[in-house]
Homo-oligomer: A and B are copies of this chain.
Amino acid sequence: MEFTIRQEVMLKAIADVGKAVSASSVHPIITGIKISAGQKGLTLISSDFDIFISRFINQTIEALEIVEIGEIIVPFKHFSELFKRLPNGNVWIKSDGLSIVLKAGEIEVKWKGMNAGDFPELPEMDPDYSVSLEEKVLARLFKQTKFAVANQIRNPVLAGVNLIFKDGFLYCAATNSHRLALKKIKINEQQIEGSYIIPGTSVHELLKLLGREDRMIIIHISQQYIRFEAGGLMVYTRLISGRFPDVHQLVPDHPETEIALNAKLLLRGIERSYFLSSDSHNHNVKLEVQGPSSLMLSAAGPQLGEIIEKQPLLGSSGICRLKITMDGKYLLDALKEIEEENVKFCFYGNLKPIVIRPLENDTYLHVISQVRDY
């Protein structure tokens, strides 16, 4: 294998595929990345067996010249660190067996690779469906739901984010059975139907790769894998098999009380109460609707003392006196993801879960259980 490439181009590609590199020493091979020089360009591949990332550098588009085709595995971390330290400009790379030589101006590095034969193969995709979405929209969809994924995996499906294609909408949901985040977006493809579960860890890595670029992401879905494609970048992630709870059944209806508040002011208030409760064994925050225009927040910790504060309501309807206890962490997580100015809390009665949603937007909501306060 022999090629010349611009240092900047290679460094960017290494960083892209680096997101799937495993730190595990159980399988040393996947601490590396596979570099393949082909007739049309260079492909970098990484995998931790759950996610695969492939980045293609096209010889006719980018600053690359393939002299001899071939492939090799290089240790990711060291290769990446070395490339960061090379000057901008052309880098010539040649491998012969497992030895690699690299030249950049007056700099020459001799290096050892690993055998390419042992590297996991990219999944074969025989897509059932494909759909394209704006990168920004997809990124926000994942960001606004994935925090609600369960940490403890008594039920493996809850460790994933659920994508549901239905009636021209894509629904995205995550729940740990105490709270649910649910968002929907309109898609152009009407014929897609189906429910898929992506591991939360994969969504986490995907979010690092999904920039805020103005481009479309093409999603391909097969039985076992989902693939996200943009430019020369392809990310494959294994799907979780099993049946996700029917999230639409988890959203209660006919609230007894509704109140509207400024989202940012409320977030700051919850942050204070959460902080004061942070040295107790729970993170309980009390909410008390004290009439049609006032909400009282309070919390207490054995060391830190206690806090009480009042926040004005922008509006209210229904029974305007109630007192509930919530997990402050869940409130914080939900409020942090609401981008709108104002927020609505819906209450459904004694110890029933509450719903939090943007006041003027019905495409996004949170369902959060109350805490029984003894």
Binding site for B on A (CB under 8 A): 78, 81-82, 85-87, 100, 106-112, 268-269, 271-272, 275-276, 303-311
Inter-chain contact B268/A109, CB cutoff 8 Å: no
Known: A81-B275, A275-B82. A307 touches B107 (CB 8 A): yes
Inter-chain contact B305/A111, CB cutoff 8 Å: yes
Distance in angstroms from A318 CB to nearest chain B CB is 24
A304 partner, pick from B78, B275, B308, B310, beta carbons under 8 A = B78
A107 partner, pick from B106, B272, B304, beta carbons under 8 A = B272
A305 partner, pick from B112, B269, B271, beta carbons under 8 A = B112
Known: A78-B304, A87-B268, A304-B78. A107 touches B275 (CB 8 A): no
Distance in angstroms from A98 CB to nearest chain B CB is 11
Nearest-CB residue, chain B, relative to A300: B110
B residues in contact with A272, CB < 8 Å:
82, 85-86, 107, 109
| Complex-state Cα separation, A112 to B304, whole angstroms | 7
Distance in angstroms from A213 CB to nearest chain B CB is 30
Max count, chain B CB within 10 A of own CB: residue among A81, A82, A305, A308: A305
Known: A86-B272, A272-B86, A304-B111. A309 touches B78 (CB 8 A): no
- What are 22 residue pairs bridging A and B, where the CB atoms are less than 8 Å apart in the complex? A78-B303, A78-B304, A82-B272, A82-B275, A82-B276, A82-B304, A85-B271, A85-B272, A86-B272, A100-B305, A106-B310, A106-B311, A107-B269, A107-B272, A107-B307, A108-B307, A108-B308, A109-B276, A110-B306, A111-B304, A111-B305, A112-B305
With A85-B272, A109-B306, A112-B303 given, can you name 7 additional A-B contacts, CB distance below 8 Å? A85-B268, A87-B268, A107-B269, A108-B308, A109-B272, A109-B307, A112-B305
Nearest-CB residue, chain B, relative to A78: B304
Nearest-CB residue, chain B, relative to A109: B307
Nearest-CB residue, chain B, relative to A296: B106
Please name the 9 residue pairs, one residue from A and one from B, whose CB atoms are nearest each other, closest first.
A107-B309, A111-B305, A106-B310, A85-B272, A110-B305, A109-B307, A110-B306, A108-B308, A106-B309
| Complex-state Cα separation, A100 to B304, whole angstroms | 11
B residues in contact with A268, CB < 8 Å:
85, 87
B residues in contact with A306, CB < 8 Å:
109-110
Known: A106-B310, A310-B106, A311-B106. A85 touches B305 (CB 8 A): no
Distance in angstroms from A238 CB to nearest chain B CB is 31
Distance in angstroms from A173 CB to nearest chain B CB is 31
Distance in angstroms from A156 CB to nearest chain B CB is 37
Inter-chain contact A275/B85, CB cutoff 8 Å: yes
Distance in angstroms from A231 CB to nearest chain B CB is 30
Distance in angstroms from A2 CB to nearest chain B CB is 18
A309 partner, pick from B108, B110, B310, beta carbons under 8 A = B108
| Complex-state Cα separation, A272 to B109, whole angstroms | 10
Distance in angstroms from A287 CB to nearest chain B CB is 15
| Complex-state Cα separation, A306 to B108, whole angstroms | 8
| Complex-state Cα separation, A67 to B310, whole angstroms | 26
Distance in angstroms from A269 CB to nearest chain B CB is 8
Nearest-CB residue, chain B, relative to A111: B305
B residues in contact with A110, CB < 8 Å:
305-307
| Complex-state Cα separation, A82 to B278, whole angstroms | 12
Distance in angstroms from A67 CB to nearest chain B CB is 21
B residues in contact with A309, CB < 8 Å:
106-108
